[in-house]
Structure 1
Amino acid sequence: MIEDLTAEKLATENQTAEDVLTVENLETRFRRGDDTIYAVNSVSFSVAPGETLGIVGESGSGKSVSLLSILGLARGARSVSGTARFMGTDLLKLRRRQLEDIRGRDIGMIFQDPMTSLNPAMRIGDQIMEAMLTHHYTNRKGAFARTLELLDKVGIPEARARFRSYPHEFSGGMRQRAMIAMAIACEPQLLIADEATTAVDVTVQAQILDLLDDLRKGRRMSIILITHDFGVATNFCDRIVVLYAGKVMESARLAEFLACPAHPYTVGLRDSVIEVGQRGRKLTPIPGMAATLTEPIRGCPFAPRCSMAIDRCTQEVPQLRSLGPGHTVACHRAEEVMSRAS
């Protein structure tokens, strides 16, 4: 029997008592002129200690905004509601100063564009040290020594000389590595990597993912990887959440996700990527454009682009429901999708 899930049941289904982060019913709204932008719509997910969670979707699906909202960094947001419990503390109820104490210390973040995220007027080493000194992780002498250690750990050669370099003197891959060093400087329990490999070539991409995985294993640190790259997510993550139009479409452990995708959007993401060794396979793009979010969702937001859509899909919002342990989907025709995709 397939069970419809409330947000509370969904959270219970997907979490354990030791979860590092549990998000329930997250909603974020923006104002654009006279319009309201419904950017995030009742998003729920959790991440366990040492787990790598992938949040996947096209640009505009609400991936980055969801995590920025949790950290109080969604600039211009008119409202943010729901709960985001980090180690038992609801981040959405904290004051700005309390959130600042957690950001960079307990939760590290690798931002999407290191060239604009790094201060162009500050030396790389000083920026990494600043994170440790701000959070009283160590004294200045200790911060200097740890910065050299971090630069070496993330694969930047001649750490002592590079300490004094400015961001424009680094390549894209080295800037990304410097951002990783800054994000892990205070040994966070959770690392959020927002499109951490987008601006680098595939060789550097593999090196960065290997580095993040080594850091995770060494400290049992949890990682949330935000990416539009389906291939990166399926090669790196333990569990995947698919977002579309600010809503969770599907969530599952990696093996289940690959073997039995249950949402047409998930299948579309899978079929729009060609992996190594799949020579000759046809590349099938998802038709149409991403949904505009200027009105509340009244049906399945993916219905206009879905080849399996029926009248019910345009009239009734599909609720997340369980297909098995840890596997949830928001689709009226999930069983048929699974039978076709398998």
Structure 2
Amino acid sequence: MSGPLLAIENLHVQFARSEDQVYAVNGVSFSIHENETLGIVGESGSGKSVMLMSSIGLLRENGKITAGTANFQGRDLLKLRPKQLEDIRGRDIGVIFQDPMTSLNPVMRIGDQIMEAMLTHQYAGRKEAFERTLHLLHEMGIPDPKARFKNYPHEFSGGMRQRIMIAIALACEPQLLIADEPTTALDVTVQMQILALLQELRRKRGMSVVMVTHDFGVATNFCDKIVVMYGGQIMEMADTDQFIRKTMHPYSLGLKRSIIEVGHRGKAIVPIPGAAKTMTQAPAGCPFAERCPYRTERCDNEVPELRKLNADHYIACHRAEEVASLAV
């Protein structure tokens, strides 16, 4: 395949509430190619998960896609019927959801839950699905797969439940894996184990991965490309090496300064002032303007276009070059 595996263009998503509308995603465009890893970073409420889940047809009843396309292997997912989307989800696109305890069925054996994906999509017969489930459990590092096949989710630790979620997502060997905050609520040691497992599985299978996270360390260590979102828009997008060397958006810089890094003992953590607001109006300016130290009148009145700085770097900031020089 010469083009991207998944290309999302000008996606807009809104949610209706009794008193107003929430403009959750506002004109997002990006793509991911075969055997590539993409990290989508931003604080809670920035639109990361909504953007991806809406593109594969997982949208709450009060949600609506008002514009855009999501082309997967040449088919616009937004134009497919529910049954057609169901055929793609789980088989061609695997999803690891945020909370394995609420995503797994508490009254169904974990082995049956892994088999269900293969049987539903007719990926394998029952005997083959059973053998493949045992292999997947072994591959996920779960000891004694035959015995553990019969266990229920509550009989596993948080890290083991996440490994089961990964097994379900990979059951039909998808070409694209969406990992939505796969290390949330796990301790640091287990986080590293899960990320190392995902990295090894991705390498062995040659699949593409979109990693949704609020953790810069996770994104920069795991992903080939970084997308930073705020207020339902992409603020910055670059190859990881380029992003680390030359972060340019004020929001991206703020995120980097507000995290603890190994070897920076005694270095002050500088939080981003203010708080993200709920997007109850269509953007009229930069969504980050109210919290930005480089704010001008233009930032309040003109939505910055996501423009190309070079072959590997895009940014949505009116003063990007100036900010980069001031931030050195």
TM bucket (normalised to shorter chain) is over 0.9
| Secondary structure class of the residue paired with 1:136 | coil
How far residue 158 of structure 1 moved from its aligned partner, in angstroms, is: 1.2
Aligned position for 2:309: 323
Aligned position for 2:292: 306
- The residue type paired with residue 325 of structure 2 is S
Aligned position for 1:69: 54
- The residue type paired with residue 323 of structure 1 is L
Aligned position for 2:242: 256
2:224 maps to which of 225, 238, 246:
238
Q: What are the Cα deviations for residues 117-159 of structure 1, in whole angstroms up to 9, with x where unaligned?
A: 0000100000000000000010000000000100110111111
User: Aligned-residue CA RMSD in angstroms?
Assistant: 1.0
| Secondary structure class of the residue paired with 2:255 | helix
1:129 maps to which of 106, 115, 139:
115
Indicate conservation of the 8 Å contact 1:291/1:302, yes or no.
no
Runs of 4+ with deviation above 2 angstroms: none
Aligned position for 2:105: 119
2:270 maps to which of 284, 287, 307:
284
Indicate conservation of the 8 Å contact 1:261/1:341, yes or no.
no
Alpha-carbon distance in 2 for matches of 1:98, 1:60: 29
| Secondary structure class of the residue paired with 2:174 | coil
The normalised TM-score by structure 2 is 0.98
Indicate conservation of the 8 Å contact 2:41/2:213, yes or no.
yes
Alpha-carbon distance in 1 for matches of 2:54, 2:62: 8
- The residue type paired with residue 15 of structure 2 is F
**Shift in CA distance, 289/148, structure 1 to aligned 2, threshold 3 Å:** same
| Secondary structure class of the residue paired with 2:70 | strand
Alignment size in residue pairs:
327
Q: What are the Cα deviations for residues 151-182 of structure 1, in whole angstroms up to 9, with x where unaligned?
A: 11011111111101101111100000000000
Alpha-carbon distance in 1 for matches of 2:318, 2:156: 49
- Please say which of residues 17-26 and 193-202 is displaced more in the overlay: 17-26
Alpha-carbon distance in 2 for matches of 1:137, 1:160: 21
Is structure 2 residue 40 aligned with structure 1 residue 55? Answer: yes
Q: What are the Cα deviations for residues 285-339 of structure 1, in whole angstroms up to 9, with x where unaligned?
A: 1111112211011111101001110111111111111111121100011002222
Indicate conservation of the 8 Å contact 2:47/2:231, yes or no.
yes
How far residue 341 of structure 1 moved from its aligned partner, in angstroms, is: 3.4
Aligned position for 2:255: 269
- The residue type paired with residue 130 of structure 2 is F
Aligned position for 1:193: 179
| Secondary structure class of the residue paired with 1:231 | helix
Q: Which runs of 5+ in 1 are unaligned?
A: 1-15
| Secondary structure class of the residue paired with 1:58 | coil
Q: What are the Cα deviations for residues 58-89 of structure 1, in whole angstroms up to 9, with x where unaligned?
A: 00000000011011111124421310011111
Is structure 2 residue 165 aligned with structure 1 residue 145? Answer: no
Is structure 2 residue 323 aligned with structure 1 residue 337? Answer: yes
Aligned position for 1:79: 64
Q: What are the Cα deviations for residues 93-114 of structure 1, in whole angstroms up to 9, with x where unaligned?
A: 0000000000000000000000
Indicate conservation of the 8 Å contact 2:242/2:312, yes or no.
no
Aligned position for 1:42: 27
Indicate conservation of the 8 Å contact 1:151/1:181, yes or no.
yes
| Secondary structure class of the residue paired with 2:190 | helix
Indicate conservation of the 8 Å contact 1:43/1:246, yes or no.
yes
Alpha-carbon distance in 1 for matches of 2:61, 2:26: 17
Alpha-carbon distance in 1 for matches of 2:20, 2:172: 41
- The residue type paired with residue 14 of structure 2 is R
Is structure 2 residue 155 aligned with structure 1 residue 169? Answer: yes
Q: Which runs of 5+ in 2 are unaligned?
A: none
Q: What are the Cα deviations for residues 200-254 of structure 1, in whole angstroms up to 9, with x where unaligned?
A: 1111111111111111111110000000111111111110000101000000000
Alpha-carbon distance in 2 for matches of 1:77, 1:102: 23
Alpha-carbon distance in 1 for matches of 2:36, 2:189: 24
Alpha-carbon distance in 2 for matches of 1:75, 1:182: 23
Alpha-carbon distance in 1 for matches of 2:304, 2:323: 14
Indicate conservation of the 8 Å contact 1:108/1:184, yes or no.
yes
Indicate conservation of the 8 Å contact 1:110/1:183, yes or no.
yes
Alpha-carbon distance in 2 for matches of 1:304, 1:94: 39
1:184 maps to which of 167, 170, 182:
170
The normalised TM-score by structure 1 is 0.94
